[in-house]
Chains A and B, each alone.
Chain A
């Protein structure tokens, strides 16, 4: 296990270095001459040279990369053009609401996807399977931004059932002010025992979480169906059947656990994918997360912020995959030997 951990950590660090190099490339090399855009359109050669040295562009390429790396490591991620705050501070306030949203979406996805996959596998080729697969395929094929609009129209405008904007009712700020600790409203409200805000926050969470859950729920349902069917063909299942266990126990007690393994292995990927789906969804629900931040940054061509978002999401992805790998390895000794 120690060897696996060391190997996996080194690999993770290598990917992180590559991610930094790629964001450096996007930030510095692609937009043509950054000094020209820094100095303005009518800059004299002297002003250009000045901008060049101010941005560190007169140094050699390796020195520039070192500057960039050390800046990232020491917490200097540049200044956002549209908020005029340090990018890292912006990310600190904007990331937690998105993580809350994505985690809620993933939980919902597992709660919907796993039973859906089981139903499809148990009644393979019959009517429940037919509908189960249509729902699953619709989930992975859903344009989330469109689903968000539809749900808003249906639940807010027509049915008046659920709120559609923000994280909780702003009117509660006067009666039950929320103490900010983690920037995740549900968590903060629960810790501080602010149940008025907690209820409102959960209500506000439902629609965006359902939208975020659409893709992972479909994916999980498909995977559970496929891997459950595969597991059902294995010898230990024949053994269990021969021993006379009832069919529901064969599925739920003996087949489901090994069948969930591949689902666990993709959770890291799905987490990152869902985080990017917030780019499309948060603006619609007026959710103050990293997704609406990214959308705003794009509108104002705010390169430092965009690179910051790209970097933090990529790092989260690497971290999530690392955790998933370690969890899997601790559950399944065979993986450690690869």
Chain B
């Protein structure tokens, strides 16, 4: 039966590039995503004024419009917005990776347990996720961030707390659909422990949809983090966080449009790239599933 499972995974692996061929939207999204990762890694080399992403201020140079020296202009304390937007890629990718890894680490084991064992365990876990799902991500994150204090770390924690139930639900559905299959029954008849059955046969089946969901959610996390920072509940100055930069630009947006515009474009581009790639993966791997969010 392991052979069958391997065969299925290899077939899927082969299918991905083939299904993506000719899909320019997904390819475009992937390309943007690749650029974002490269920018995040090489930000210190690419940014013309790396010190502007940290504590540097040049008050005399404040609110300069875009020019050849400052491609995106400068902000209220004279920092180069282009450099800060580049460094912002790091902040956003880091936070969304942390949030999603934490959400998967908590949600997937719970969901798999609920789906595999069923019955009472299933009921308890799923009702708890229902309660958490009743709080839209931004709302619970807002309440938690307000109570815990405003910082990038607390915003990350708050978002992880709001995001895990989605993965619990997803993993539960996958595990439940597998749990009744004959090869699981025969594994049980062979005397394999539940732990081993889950680890070797149930969990791998949940991974593909979880990965697709992660790439779709990454865009949502980036937007939500930016929103929290925009409200003053996330990253704090001088962190080059995109949402925070838009918030800074809001005060003089009508006279100095560039301060808020470029970080906003970065948020939109990053979120679109993740959504396009997630969409493409989903369509390639499993065209029938319709996912919210």
Contact = CB atoms under 8 A, between A and B. Distances in A.
Given A141-B223, A277-B138, A298-B233, A130 B146 contact: no
Given A18-B130, A273-B136, A317-B136, A141 B271 contact: yes
A94 B143 CA distance: 18
B56 to A, nearest CB: 25
Sort chain B's interface into a size bin. 35 or more
A142 interface: yes
For chain A, what secondary structure do more than half of its interface residues adopt (helix, strand, loop), or is it mixed? helix
A256 interface: no
B257 interface: yes
Contacts of A317: 134-136
Given A140-B275, A149-B250, A279-B142, A22 B147 contact: no
B227 A145 contact: yes
A303 B147 contact: yes
A146 B268 contact: yes
A230 B289 CA distance: 10
A17 to B, nearest CB: 8
B147 A26 contact: yes
B138 A146 contact: no
Contacts of B134: 15, 18-19, 314, 317-318
Contacts of B272: 137-138, 141
B246 A18 contact: no
B257 A153 contact: yes
A15 B288 contact: no
A20 B288 CA distance: 36
Contact of A146 (B132, B254, B267): B267
B223 A313 contact: no
A145 B138 CA distance: 13
Interface in A125-154: 130, 133-134, 137-138, 140-146, 149-150, 152-153
A198 interface: no
A310 interface: yes
Given A22-B131, A299-B232, A279 B138 contact: yes
A227 B290 contact: yes
B152 interface: no
Nearest to A21: B131
Nearest to A262: B290
Given A18-B128, A149-B260, A310-B135, A31 B147 contact: yes
B19 to A, nearest CB: 12
Contacts of B231: 279-280, 295, 298
Nearest to A303: B147
Most chain A beta carbons < 10 A, residue from B127, B140, B223, B243: B223
B24 interface: yes
Contacts of B131: 15, 18-19, 21-22
A153 B144 CA distance: 33
A314 B135 contact: yes
Contacts of A14: 127, 130
22 contacts: A11-B130, A18-B131, A138-B272, A143-B267, A143-B268, A149-B249, A149-B264, A152-B253, A223-B290, A262-B290, A273-B136, A276-B137, A298-B142, A298-B232, A301-B146, A303-B147, A310-B135, A310-B139, A310-B140, A314-B134, A317-B134, A318-B134
Given A18-B128, A280-B231, 13 more contacts: A15-B130, A18-B134, A19-B131, A19-B135, A22-B132, A26-B147, A30-B144, A30-B148, A138-B272, A143-B268, A149-B253, A157-B254, A313-B135
